[in-house]
Copies of this chain bind each other. A is one copy, B any other.
Amino acid sequence: MKLHEYQAKDLLEATGVRVLKGAVASDPAGIEAAIATLSPGGPWVVKAQVHAGGRGKAGGVKLAKTREDLREKARAILGMTLVSNQTGPQGVKVRKILLVEACDIAHEIYVSILMDRKEGRPLVVASAEGGMEIEELAATHPEKILKEHLDPLAGMQPHQARDLAYRLAPGEAPDSPVPAALAELLMGLSRAFFKYDASLVEVNPLIITPSKDVIALDAKVALEDNALFRHPELEALRDVAEENPKEVKAAEAGLNYIALDGNIGCLVNGAGLAMATMDLIKLHGGAPNNFLDVGGGANKDTMLAAFKLLLGDPQVKGILVNIFGGIVRCDLVAQGVIDAAKEVSLAVPMVVRLEGTNAEQGRALLATSGLPITPAAGFNEATLKIVEAVRGK
């Protein structure tokens, strides 16, 4: 679950990370209220609150030097359609903005904590050269990226924080307060990572001001969905407006669904088989409309919800059902397909491949259903048939 910058800052502040919180606005009245809470002397920064990254280059972050300037820029950004390299060409609408006092910057640092799956331990990734995109830096100057693993039971140790701090702020005078403050901030990031079951905690830039303050100027936090049961209070931070509406709808129906750009709707059991089905469609020249794993509990209700989702999408020109019955019985799946297809009135070609437990019975049911369903014996044949059926549509 992704969070907005202002939400992330709230969470980080609670674990001892120094942030500039500012004020959030989601409508013109909110802008006025927010401005009233800020210090009267500028400059200030207006920051679009969207889940997609790359908002700076996309015009979602602006500096304002006067109150009037601030008001204008806030109004301009709020409601704009922001198109960045992470939003796709359609962009995203800015529904919330953060107004915050600007800050003089002497030095910018990059820090993130995420899970290193290879080692099975959390990993701090950091660079003394913050502000820029870390992927770019990693590609061009890998030696400038610091990596430090954390023990999952013990968390970040003070010596790790100290060591990172001295490496991330190497030019400080011996008596500078910066390394100690930076180490404490890093400890706070680590506490946040563990406390909230985060999948990502990222601060870019983490800044040192000319007056030697150490501040998390931006903040990105993503929470692990699987651990949200431990943090029911964080569920309220979910902003469904930022998510794909089809995916939100699918999630409400308990479906594991990801929207894609193609025209072949896919309905598969199992994530790996679902991906392989999409891959095979593409291999045969088609384009999958979606990833959809109906899981091990495929029944009439799931089928119905899945069909409604796929058929409600004008992009879908054909549907491929690919079920390898293990626990799932194919005859029950077939019945689910038949019942659902009757209820939603099937207007596009549908290919169904059933394999595994009770596949014969399932195929027989479909064959005698009178529905315009094309059966397929194998995985390959099924994808070929559906690609053929939607070709030119």
Contacts of A151 in B (CB 8 A): 153
Would you give the shortest CB distance from A204 to chain B, in whole angstroms?
31
Would you give the shortest CB distance from A214 to chain B, in whole angstroms?
25
The answer to the question of A154 belonging to the interface, with a C-beta cut-off of 8 Å to chain B, is yes
Would you give the shortest CB distance from A77 to chain B, in whole angstroms?
46
Closest partner residue, chain B, to A153 (CB atom): B153
Which residues in chain A, 124-169, are within 8 Å of chain B measured between CB atoms? 151, 153-154
- How many of A's residues come within 8 Å of B, CB to CB? 3
Oligomeric state, in number of copies? 2
Would you give the shortest CB distance from A231 to chain B, in whole angstroms?
18
Contacts of A154 in B (CB 8 A): 153
Which residues in chain A, 83-138, are within 8 Å of chain B measured between CB atoms? none
Q: How far is the CA of A151 from the CA of B154 in the complex (A)?
A: 11
Would you give the shortest CB distance from A21 to chain B, in whole angstroms?
29
Closest partner residue, chain B, to A151 (CB atom): B153
Contact with B along A359-384 (1 / 0, CB 8 A): 00000000000000000000000000
Contacts of A153 in B (CB 8 A): 151, 153-154
Q: How far is the CA of A79 from the CA of B153 in the complex (A)?
A: 49
Closest partner residue, chain B, to A155 (CB atom): B153
Q: How far is the CA of A214 from the CA of B154 in the complex (A)?
A: 32
Would you give the shortest CB distance from A35 to chain B, in whole angstroms?
41
Would you give the shortest CB distance from A160 to chain B, in whole angstroms?
15
Would you give the shortest CB distance from A229 to chain B, in whole angstroms?
15
Q: How far is the CA of A154 from the CA of B154 in the complex (A)?
A: 8
Q: How far is the CA of A151 from the CA of B153 in the complex (A)?
A: 10
Q: How far is the CA of A315 from the CA of B29 in the complex (A)?
A: 83
Closest partner residue, chain B, to A154 (CB atom): B153
Which residues in chain A, 142-199, are within 8 Å of chain B measured between CB atoms? 151, 153-154
Q: How far is the CA of A154 from the CA of B153 in the complex (A)?
A: 6
Q: How far is the CA of A97 from the CA of B151 in the complex (A)?
A: 46
Would you give the shortest CB distance from A149 to chain B, in whole angstroms?
15
Q: How far is the CA of A294 from the CA of B360 in the complex (A)?
A: 90
- Which residues of A approach B to under 8 Å, CB–CB? 151, 153-154
Among all A-B residue pairs, the 3 with the closest Cβ atoms: A153-B153, A153-B154, A151-B153
Q: List 3 A-B contacts (CB under 8 A).
A: A151-B153, A153-B153, A153-B154
